[in-house]
Amino acid sequence: MAKKICPRAVGCKKREYKVLKYSKPVCPSCNCELDHLNMYEKGEKKTMLVICDGEPIWEEIEFYPDSSVDFECPECNEILTHKSEDAIKILKGKKIKIKAR
C-alpha cells in the first residue's frame, strides 16, 4: 500500500498515512472542502455591570454552557451536527448522514 507524508499535520507524530484510507473532508451539505468546522456553544453568560467614574463597565464573570452545541460548515453555515464525535468524523473525511435542522 502506497504511503505518503501527511500534508496536513506538521506536528503529526505518525507523519504518514495510508493513501487509500485518506479522503478529503467535504461538507455533506455544500460539498466544499473542509479544513475546520465552526463550533457554537450555547449557554448563559453571567456579566457584571458596574458604573466606574460615571461610565458603565461590563465584566464577564462566568459562562454556563447548556448541553447544546452546533457544528457549522464555515462555507454554507449549515448546522452539520450537534455531536463532537460526528464533527470529528466529518473532518476525518468519513461520510455521515446529516440530520434535518
- Nearest approach in angstroms of CB 96 to Zn ion is 13
SS3 label, residue 67? strand
Task: Round to whole Å and give the CA distance between 94 and 24.
Answer: 9
SS3 label, residue 91? helix
Selected range binding Zn ion among 20-28, 39-47, 58-66, 86-94, rule: CB under 5 A: 20-28
Task: Round to whole Å and give the CA distance between 61 and 58.
Answer: 9
Asked if 62 interacts with Zn ion (CB under 5 A), we say: no
The single residue among 5, 9, 12, 30 that binds Zn ion, judged by CB under 5 A, is: 30
Q: Which residues bind Zn ion (CB under 5 A)?
A: 27, 29-30, 73, 75-76
